[in-house]
Amino acid sequence: MYKEVLRSIDGVDFYANFSLLVFIIFFVVLFIWTMRSSKKFMDKMSEMPLQDGSIQNEKDSI
């Protein structure tokens, strides 16, 4: 039933191609951003889940 409904829509293949293109562009941009980021930034971000917040609060009060 769904196939017949989708076939009746003119230009429905455009939506599939467009969504695939957006998906690919997003992950290519994300990959480039990750490769260009500094190691210091990545180390800082990787340690964030392990902190309980008390270290950050102490830095804010200084």
- Domain boundaries, given as residue ranges, for the chain: 2-61
| Residue 28, both tokens | 């290519």
Q: Is the pTM of this model over 0.85?
A: no
pLDDT of 55 > 70? The answer is: no
pLDDT attached to residue 59: 57
Per the CB < 8 A criterion, the answer to whether 12 and 6 are in contact is yes
**What letter represents residue 38's amino acid?**
S
Per-residue b or e along 30-61, where b marks 16 or more CB atoms closer than 10 Å to that residue's CB: eeeeeeeeeeeeeeeeeeeeeeeeeeeeeeee
pLDDT per residue as tens digits for the range 3-54: 787 778 788 788 889 999 999 999 999 999 999 999 998 888 888 877 776 6
